[in-house]
Structure 1
Amino acid sequence: MKRIAIDAMGGDHAPKAVIEGVNRALAEFSDITIQLYGDEEKIRPYLEANERVTIHHTKEKIDSDDEPAKAIRRKKEASMVLAAQAVKNGEADAVLSAGNTGALLAAGLFIVGRIKGVERPGLLSTLPTVDARGFDMLDLGANAENTAKHLHQYAILGSFYAKTVRQIERPRVGLLNNGTEKTKGDPLRKEVYDLLEADERIYFVGNVESRDLMAGVADVVVTDGFTGNAVLKAIEGTASSLMGQVKTALLSGGALSKLGAFLLKDNLTALKQQLDYTSAGGAVLFGVKAPVVKAHGSSDARSIYYTIKQTRTMLDKGTVAQLVDAFAEGE
């Protein structure tokens, strides 16, 4: 059984969305058990009876405006802290939360712990492309500043994730830059380019520009946390705005436009699915000793379900265990 500890109180729509996502996952996957951490009185009304789910009651939680490191230290009984502690104690195999991102990163680093040899774990997420293959990008904000060695390790980590979780035999790694030429970029980007080009373990395809990301120019995209977080939000915002504008244009243009919308329904549904980043799951703090997965704060039940599915896949493939072995042997 794959044991997943979940912060039931994290996220904008908790605990309802979290529990409804859990119900769907339990119904579909017979090889997982769920440990819910949170207020039992608030959880029970949404939870369907299942022998593979348990509730660990606590009324303390970490709020979205709490200072991450302080919250982890001071709120020892918070649902997120207890879920991470269960992983550390060997009572669970992974932790998932839609709550305070900084607090979950702190819990991953200070409670679960980083893999020996990984200097700075990075936040990784699979983002959409027009061909529906997607690409993995890191760091997405775990670290505001990075060294060349950190980004080199991100390329290794991202390639490993793409191979084991997404089953891409030879992931193409691109370095996010302001141009595709080797000479482009600041001193950091130039140093990283040389490191990646010299590493035979990585299929490095060179610099990539942000405008080409959704065209599928690479399977893994490496950048610093500040830039990655900005690009992530730009992609999310663009996808959401695009679908909203298409819907408005079709439904506000009179009878002919509405007829066109009806005729294009299947095509528009396919487009929406291609741009839907939530179906890939959450963001993974990659480089720590167990899967620490962050669902979007606004996650609905569907998003939570897909994040549980992603976590299950990581456990099924033994992704983190293999990564530990790989770094133990030396990069």
Structure 2
Amino acid sequence: MDGGPRIAIDAMGGDSGPTVMIAGASRALRKDPSLLFTFYGDEPRVREEIERHKNLQSRVDVVHSPESIEPSEKPSQAIRRARTTSMGMAINAVKEERADAALSGGNTGALMAMSKLALRTMPGIDRPALAALLPTLGETDVIMLDLGANTECDAQNLVQFAVMGAAYARTVLGLARPRVKLLNIGTEELKGTDELKAAAALLREADYLPLRFDGFTEGDQLSRGQVDVVVTDGFSGNIALKTAEGTARFVTDLLRRAFKSSLRSKAGFALSAPALNLLKVHLDPNNHNGAVFLGLNGLVVKSHGGATPKGVANAIHVTASMVRHGITRKIGDDLDNFRAHAFANGSTK
């Protein structure tokens, strides 16, 4: 089959398994008919779902996997079963260049561990990072990394994350020189850990890179639309992400409760429905689904386990865009440029 990017999909990953993953692929194909898929999973179940989506049938291959990764399974256990699980087989397809990217909605820790073991990190990258798009009040979303892959990071890790995040922004958001900031407890140069200060100093000197370093940002500014890439360690990033998601649910639940409190409130709800629908669309995580492990010799994307078909389709579109724009190559070129300047300035890092 000729066509666009081929995406290897862990059909058994996610809360609803093949039902949602395959429906999402079908939805994505309606928007982008050039896509190709290879589904890995329980073949009878996968083929039964494919039968429900006629548009998929000429665009897919199915590879049977005898096992799948459990949501609570430890990464160390998952690695030992990589070759026989739908998740591991999808990742291996990228390693063996039988697919351009892998997508899974399964266990994040297992996906990270197996991806890193199979694909290895790129030259110049010490640790891969998990990056995702978050909604803002600006014209574009903001990219944030790391969101949980690395709980502790040094200055070099943060600089590498900045380079990778900027390449992601150039690919997915179409920005020539993305605005990059480091997440900190204040915007003043004297605030923050030694690692943050050292990373900021390195990024200020790297004006030859296709990014614009704008210093520090605080957590309350993440959604204001004043930055394109926010860089932090995985511990802080995961807390910030979960806090933002919780706040979004709090706001929507509070509004729902308020509008049900009286007849007058219900009447107000009817008048406010268009604006509230816009709010719902903006805060819907399915519209921002698809976190990517950056820094590997291959492309692996994590879909939210509870994503709807719409969310899976969005993750597929993000994946296809990164394949088409050669994000791995862009990251490699930027890292080569950074290392060459560092060597010229007497640094061996």
Q: CA RMSD in A?
A: 1.5
Q: Which residue of 1 aligns with 2:295?
A: 287
Deviation at 1:215, TM superposition (A): 1.1
The amino acid that maps onto 2:231 is V
After TM superposition, give the deviation of residue 220 of structure 1 in Å.
Answer: 0.4
Deviation at 1:149, TM superposition (A): 0.2
Q: 2:243 aligned with 1:240, yes or no? A: no
- Specify the alignment match of 2:182 in structure 1: 175
Map 1:1-331 → 2, pairs under 5 A:
1-47=4-50, 48-49=53-54, 50-131=57-138, 133-200=140-207, 201=209, 202-250=211-259, 252-328=260-336, 331=339
Q: Within 1, Cα distance between the matches of 2:324 and 2:249?
A: 32
Query: Contact 1:130/1:274 (CA < 8 Å) preserved in 2?
Result: no
Query: How far, CA to CA, are the matches of 1:120 and 1:75 in structure 2?
Result: 21
Q: Distance in 1 between matches of 2:140 and 2:338?
A: 31
SS of the aligned residue for 1:270 comes to helix
Secondary structure in 1 aligned to 2:9? strand
**Matched residue count:** 330
Aligned 8 A contact 2:138 2:226 in 1: no
Tell me how far apart the structure 1 counterparts of residues 206 and 176 of structure 2 sit (CA, whole Å): 17
Task: Give 3-state SS (helix, strand or coil) of 2:72's partner.
Answer: coil
Q: What is residue 345 of structure 2 aligned with on the other side?
A: none
Cα distance in 1 for partners of 2:232, 2:330 equals 24
1:328 Cα deviation after fit: 4.6
Q: Deviations over 1:129-159 (max 9, x none)?
A: 1235210011111111111100011111111
- Amino acid in the other structure paired with 1:25: A
Give 1:65 shift. Answer: 1.4
Residues 209-231 of structure 1: per-residue CA shift (max 9 Å, x gap) = 00111112311001001110111
Residue of structure 1 in register with 2:346 after alignment:
none
Greater Cα offset, 71-80 or 1-10: 71-80
C-alpha deviation, 1:239, in angstroms: 0.8
> How many angstroms does 1:276 deviate by?
2.7
Hey, what's the Cα distance between the residues in 1 that align with 2:69 and 2:303? 15
String of CA shifts for 1:234-292, please: whole Å, max 9, x gaps.
11111122111112211x12222222111111111111222233312311001112221
Q: Is the 8 A contact 1:210 1:231 kept in 2?
A: yes
Q: Once the 2 structures are TM-superposed, how far is the Cα of residue 319 of structure 1 from its aligned partner? A: 1.6
TM-score w.r.t. length of structure 2 = 0.91
- Is the Cα contact below 8 Å between 2:128 and 2:296 reproduced in 1? yes
- What are the ranges of 5 or more consecutive residues in structure 2 without an aligned counterpart? 340-349
Secondary structure of 1:165's counterpart equals helix
CA distance in structure 1 between the partners assigned to 2:60 and 2:131 by the alignment: 28
SS class of match (1:125): strand
Residue identity in the other structure for 2:318: Q
Question: Per the alignment, in what secondary structure is the counterpart of residue 173 of structure 2?
Answer: coil
**Following TM superposition, by how much is the alpha carbon of 1:196 offset from its aligned partner in structure 2, in angstroms?**
1.7
SS in 2 for 1:293: strand
Compared with structure 1, are the counterparts of its residues 259 and 132 closer, same or farther at alpha carbon in structure 2 (3 Å cutoff)?
farther
On the 8 A contact 1:162/1:219 being kept in 2, the answer is: yes
Distance in 2 separating the partners of 1:88 and 1:244: 43
Query: What is the rounded CA distance, in whole Å, between the counterparts of 1:278 and 1:313 in structure 2?
Result: 17
- The change in CA–CA distance for 1:180 and 1:330 in structure 2 (over 3 A counts) is closer
**Residues of 1 paired with 2:175 and 2:163: CA distance?**
14
Deviation at 1:118, TM superposition (A): 1.3
- Structure 1 residues 322 and 193, CA, compared in 2 at 3 Å: closer, same or farther? closer
